Structure 1
Amino acid sequence: MLSPQLKGGSSLDSKSSKVLVVGLDGASWNILEPLARKKDGIFKKLAEKGATGILESTIPPVTGAAWVSMATGLNPGRTGCVDFLNRRGPGCRLTLVSSLDYLGKAIWDFMSFEGLSSVIIDYPMLYPPYKIDGAMVSGLGSPTKASYPPELLDEAERVFGGYEEFIRPQDPKYDDLDKFFEDLFRSFELKAKTSLYIAKKYEEWNLLFDVVSHTDWLFHRCWPFVAGEDGKYSKLSAEFLEQVGDFIEEYLKSFDLDALLLVSDHGSGPNTHRFNLARLMVSSGFIESPTSPLGYLKYLVREEERKVSEVLSKVGVMRSVIAKLKRRRRKKAISGSVPSFYPIDLDRSRVFLLNHTTHFGAIYVNLKGREPSGIVEPNDYEPLRELIVEEMAKVASKFGISIKSFRKEEIYWGPHVDWLPDLVLLVEEGGGAVEHDFFGKWIVKNESLSRRYLGSHRRHGLFVGFGPAFKSAKNLKLSILDIAPMIAGLLGVKFPWEPDGSIPKGLFRGKYEDMRLEKMSKKEKLGFKAFLTSIKFKSGLKERS
C-alpha cells in the first residue's frame, strides 16, 4: 500500500523530512488519467487520494525555460532563459543554458546553505554539475553525462554496465517504431536502476528531485499512439507509462516520505502544422534577405570581406588573427556563445530572427540604441510590433490557424527582459512548429514537422501532490513558478528574495495550511553570497565571458 510509506503527523521537521519530486517531462494529467481509470497502481491511487491538476508552464513551454523556472521560482525575465539558447546581451549571439543559470537561484542551493541534503538526478541542462550537500547528475541538454561527486556515475556504470542513453526521436533509425520502443525501454530500465541506486546511496537526503525525459521522447515520436487506445504501439505506449508508474512506486516502497510531487515542465499534444516565420517576415518587408541560396553565399562573402577589411584597417592583421582564435575558443566552451548565420541584412532589416527551437516563434526588433546595427527608432518600436501582430492575425485568418502573439513585457519581468524576444509567438497553442526557411515559398503547411516528430508541447503540464500535507483535490491550476516555493515551505527553507511563484492556498490541510515562505535576513543573505563564492571556486565554475 502507498500510505505506509508516507509519514503522518502535523508538521515537517526539516532535518528529518523527505520530499520526493519526480519530473515527467511533457506529461499532463489527461495523459495519465486513462491509466488511472483502467488499472490498479500508482496513478489510480494518486487520482483517488491526491491533489491533481494542471501545472501551467512558461511562455514558451520549452524545456530550456521551464525547468530553470521550476527550480528557481523565477520567470524568464529573471532567469534570462526562454529556450536552450538565449541572448545575454545585444546582437545575434546565443548562449547555452548551463548550471550557471541555476547556481545561486535553485532550491537545492538554498537547502545546501541551511545544511539540508539534496539528490538531483537527470535535471535538464544542469551541466557542469557542481558541489551541493548531496549529489547531482546532469540530464538532457548536457554535452555529456556528468555528476557530483565526479566518481558517482562511474560507480553506477560499473554496477549496471552502463548508463541511460539519450534518445533522439527524430533519428532516422526510428522510422522503425519497434526499434524506438526497444531503445526506450532499455534506456529507461538503466535510468530507473541508476536513480534508485543513487537515492539509496545518499539515503539521508531531504529532497530528491528526479527527472524522467523518456516520457517526452515518447510523446514526440508516438503521440497518435499515446492518445489512442488500440493497436500494438498504443499498447506499448501504455505499457511504458505503467513502467514509469512502477518506478515511482518503487521509490515509495524504498523511502519513508513526507510528501510526493509529480510535476512536468509542459504538456503535450499533436504536432499539426508548420509555420514559416522567416518567409512571412521577408515577404512582409520586415526582414531584408537575399532571395536565393546563391545570393546568400554572395551576401556572406561580402559581409566577411567587409568585416575583414574593417579589422585589418583598424587593428592590423595580427590582432585579427588573435581575435579569431579567441572566438573559436569561446565557441567550444559550455558557457560560450554561438552566432546566428541566418541570411538577414541587419543594416536594412527592422527585425531579426535567431536559432531557437521550433516550439515557438521569437521576433527581435532591430532597435536603435540597443542593437549594434539598430535601425528602428525608439518611437517606432511599439507601432512596429503592432504591425507584426496585425500581420500574424491576417495569416491566422487566411490559413485557419491560431497564432497568439505575446509582447515580452506582458509575460516577463526582471533584469534580463531587454535581451528576450520582443514578440513571442505560439502557433496552434504549441501544436505548430515554427521554422525559418528563408528560401522556401510557403507560409503554412498542414502537416507535422516530420514523420518521426508527431507530438509537440502545450502549456498545461502535470501536477500531483500526495501525502499528509495535501488535501484530496481535483482540477487544480498551479504555476510552474510555485514548485520551488512549495518545496521550500514543506522543508522550512528560506528564500534570499521574493520568488515569482508562491505557496498555493487551499491545497494543504491541518497545520500545513499555515505553511508560508520565509525569507533570509540581511545577515543570512551575506552568508549565502559568501557560500556561493566558495561553491563556484570548489566546482571550478566561471562566469560567462
Structure 2
Amino acid sequence: MTRTFRREEAASTGSNTSESSELDTLLIGIDAGCLPVFERLFDAGRIPTIERICSEGVAAPLESQIPPWTPSAWPSIYTGVNPGKHGVVGFVGYDGYDWHVTSNDDVREHPIWTLLNHHDRSSVVVNAPVTHPPDEFDGAMLPGFLGPEDPTCHPDGLLDDVREAIGEYRIYPKYTRDDDSLPDDEKIEEYQNLVRMRGEAFRYLVDRYEPDFGFVQFQKTDTVFHEFEGKEDYVDRVYEATDAQIESILESCDPNRVFLVSDHGMGPYEGYEFRINEFLRDEGYLETTTGGKGMPSWTPMRRRLREGEEVETWEPGRFARALSVAARFGVTASRIRTALERVGMADLATAHAPGGVTRTANEQVDFAASEAYVRARTELGVRINLEGRDPDGVVRQDAYEQLREDLIRRLQAVETPDGEPFFETVAPHEQYFHGDEIDQTVDIVTIPADFEHVISEQLVDGDYFGPAEPWNHKLDGVFVAMGDGIDESAPLERAHLFDVAPTVMAAMGVPYSDRMDGGIVPVVDPVESTTYPAYDDHDEERRPETNETVTDRLADLGYMN
C-alpha cells in the first residue's frame, strides 16, 4: 500500500512553504529516556547536551500509553493516535492465531512526515521504529527497529548511499544477546558504534536533503537496561555516546527548535512475574496442547533472518516437529532437561539444540480451543477467543460481556505472594482504546501495580509467580521543547504521548489532524486542526515478509522468549 498525499497549493491550506534550507524542527527520540535516569546522569556530568536542552527549554514527564512498549508507543508518538486507531499493539501482528513481525503496514494512520508532505514540508527520518517498508514523501527515510538488517529505504538506493558516505551502517548489533564469546565491554562498544551510526547518517541526510523536519531515534538507551540489568557504567557509556551525537547534530543542523521525547520511562522492578496463562488454565479458561507451534518464537525466526531468508512466520523444523510428537507421549523438553541436568549436560544441550524445541516440545496454549489467553506479555492484557471475530472463536457474542466481567473480577483478586494486589487496573479495553482497529488490541487491559511487576505468557506447570526482570518500563517518559516559538517559561507539569505529533505540527505552523487523540502542549501557539485524507488500506500485498534478522534482534532484547 502506498500512502502519499497529493500536494496542494500552500495558499489553499494557509501554510507557508519554507524557502530556507535550514532545519526548521528537530525531533529527537530517546527510547526509555526519563527524568529519573537523566537526573542521575546530570549529577555525574555525563550528558551535558541533554542537560542543556532540558535546562534551557521546558521539560516535563511524558505520560506513556498502554501498552508502554516500543512497537506500539512510537507509532502513537508519530501519528498522534491511540493503538485502537493505528492498530499496532506489540512486536507481532496477528493473522487469526498465527503471527508476523510488526511492520509499517500494520500502522493504519498517517505519520507526521506524510502530513507535513501535504503542506510542502520535507522530512528526514532515521531509525524510527516500525517504519519498514517506508512511506513515500518528500525527503528520506532510513527505517529502524523491527525492520530487517538491510531494510527497504526511501528513496530506493538510500541505504547504499548512506553506507558509501559514512561507512558501515547497521540497525542491529553484530552479536546476539546469548553470545557469551564476546566480553560485555565489547558489546557496549558495539552499542556506542550503533549510536554513532545514527548520528552520522542523520547529519549526512539532513545535509543532502535539506529538510524542514528531522526525526532521529536512539534505541540502545533502552536496550542497555534490558541486556545489562541497569549496570550504571554501561548505561553511562551508552547515554554519553547518545549525548555526543545529539551535540554534533545540533552543531551541524542548527535547528530552529528542538523537541526531545521518549516512548516510556525505565526503572528498577522489585516485584514479581505473574504467569497469567497458567492462572487462566487453572481457572478453566485456557486449553493446552503439545502438538502446535506455541507462542511466537523468535529463536528459529532470527536464525533464518540472519541467513538472509524471508519468511512470514515461524514453522517448526523437522527436529522440533519430532519433539512435538514426542511431547504428546510425555517426552517434554523440560523433562529432557531434568534428565540432562543429572549428568551435567543440560547447558551444553541447550546451546546446541535447534531453535523452537522448547516451544514445540512442551505444553502450549491451544489458542483455537481456549476461551481466553495472553498472546504476549508486552500487550498488557487478555484476549478473548470470540466467535465471529477470531477464526475458531468459542465464546458466543451473547456470552462475551459476562465472561469478560467474570475474568476481570478474578484477575482483580490476584495477590502477590506478599498478599498485595498484583494488578493496579483490570479493565475493559474500551477504557484505553478506541477506533476502527480496536479488535487488534486485547479485550481486557491488565496493568501491574505501580509497574513494579510483569506478566508472562509462559506456562510453568502449577507455578504462578517468579522474580521480575530487575529493570523494565515505567509509565513516565520525558518531553522537552526548546527554541523558536517555544514558551520556555510556560509552567508544564506533564504531557501525554499522544500530544507530541499535534505539538510538533503546531510549532511548524501547520494544522494537525483532527483524528489525533492528543492536543497541543501549551508551550507553542495553538493552531486549528483539519481533516486529512483518511488512511487507505488497499494493498495488503505490501506487507513485507518477515526477515529473520528482525526476530533475532527481538529475542536479543528479551521482549519475547
Question: For the superposition of Structure 1 and Structure 2, which TM-score range results when normalised by the shorter chain?
Answer: 0.7 to 0.9
Pair 1:284–1:416, CA change in 2 (3 A): same
1:271 Cα deviation from its structure 2 partner: 4.4
1:348 Cα deviation from its structure 2 partner: 5.0
Amino acid in structure 2 at the alignment position of 1:435: S
CA distance in structure 2 between the aligned counterparts of 1:211 and 1:503, rounded to whole angstroms: 22
The answer to whether 1:157 aligns with 2:163 is yes
Match of 2:252 among 248, 251, 254: 254
CA distance in structure 2 between the aligned counterparts of 1:20 and 1:205, rounded to whole angstroms: 10
Q: How does 1:144-543 map to 2 (within 5 A)?
A: 144-146=149-151, 147-167=153-173, 170-173=177-180, 176-202=183-209, 204-226=210-232, 233=233, 236-272=234-270, 273-290=272-289, 296-297=290-291, 343-345=364-366, 348-354=369-375, 356=376, 358-399=377-418, 400=420, 402-403=422-423, 404-448=425-469, 454-470=470-486, 471-472=488-489, 476-495=493-512, 497-505=514-522, 507-508=523-524, 512=525, 515-520=526-531, 525=533, 542=542
1:76 Cα deviation from its structure 2 partner: 0.6
1:492-545 CA-to-partner distances (Å, cap 9, x unmatched) read 33345431111123x23xxx3xx213314xxx74xx88xx89xx99xx973799
CA distance in structure 1 between the aligned counterparts of 2:201 and 2:55, rounded to whole angstroms: 30
The answer to whether 1:68 aligns with 2:75 is yes
Amino acid in structure 2 at the alignment position of 1:207: F
Amino acid in structure 1 at the alignment position of 2:542: K
Determine if contact 2:67/2:379 at 8 Å carries over to the other structure.
yes
Determine if contact 2:32/2:264 at 8 Å carries over to the other structure.
yes
Pair 1:20–1:346, CA change in 2 (3 A): closer
1:195 Cα deviation from its structure 2 partner: 2.2
Amino acid in structure 1 at the alignment position of 2:204: Y
Pair 1:381–1:186, CA change in 2 (3 A): same
1:172 Cα deviation from its structure 2 partner: 3.6
Q: TM-score, normalised by structure 2?
A: 0.74
1:95 Cα deviation from its structure 2 partner: 4.1
Residue in structure 1 matched with residue 97 of structure 2 by the alignment: 92
SS in 1 for 2:364: coil
Give 5+ residue unaligned stretches, structure 2. Answer: 1-14, 294-308, 316-358, 546-561
SS in 1 for 2:439: helix
Amino acid in structure 2 at the alignment position of 1:480: L
1:102 Cα deviation from its structure 2 partner: 4.5
Residue in structure 2 matched with residue 326 of structure 1 by the alignment: none
Residue in structure 2 matched with residue 117 of structure 1 by the alignment: 122
Give 5+ residue unaligned stretches, structure 1. Answer: 1-11, 227-232, 291-295, 301-331, 449-453
CA distance in structure 1 between the aligned counterparts of 2:181 and 2:91, rounded to whole angstroms: 24
Higher helix share: 1
1:85 Cα deviation from its structure 2 partner: 1.6
Pair 1:398–1:223, CA change in 2 (3 A): closer
Aligned-residue CA RMSD (Å) = 3.2
1:309-329 CA-to-partner distances (Å, cap 9, x unmatched) read xxxxxxxxxxxxxxxxxxxxx
Pair 1:215–1:389, CA change in 2 (3 A): same
CA distance in structure 1 between the aligned counterparts of 2:157 and 2:428, rounded to whole angstroms: 46
1:285-323 CA-to-partner distances (Å, cap 9, x unmatched) read 111224xxxxx13x88xxxxxxxxxxxxxxxxxxxxxxx
SS in 2 for 1:123: coil
1:472 Cα deviation from its structure 2 partner: 3.2
Pair 1:224–1:214, CA change in 2 (3 A): closer
Determine if contact 2:114/2:135 at 8 Å carries over to the other structure.
no
1:118-157 CA-to-partner distances (Å, cap 9, x unmatched) read 0000111211124320100010111233321222221222
Pair 1:100–1:346, CA change in 2 (3 A): closer
CA distance in structure 1 between the aligned counterparts of 2:197 and 2:160, rounded to whole angstroms: 14
Determine if contact 1:286/1:351 at 8 Å carries over to the other structure.
yes
Determine if contact 2:502/2:518 at 8 Å carries over to the other structure.
yes
Residue in structure 2 matched with residue 324 of structure 1 by the alignment: none
Amino acid in structure 2 at the alignment position of 1:152: L
CA distance in structure 1 between the aligned counterparts of 2:454 and 2:150, rounded to whole angstroms: 29
How many correspondences in the alignment? 461
CA distance in structure 1 between the aligned counterparts of 2:422 and 2:221, rounded to whole angstroms: 27
CA distance in structure 1 between the aligned counterparts of 2:187 and 2:454, rounded to whole angstroms: 22
1:441 Cα deviation from its structure 2 partner: 2.6
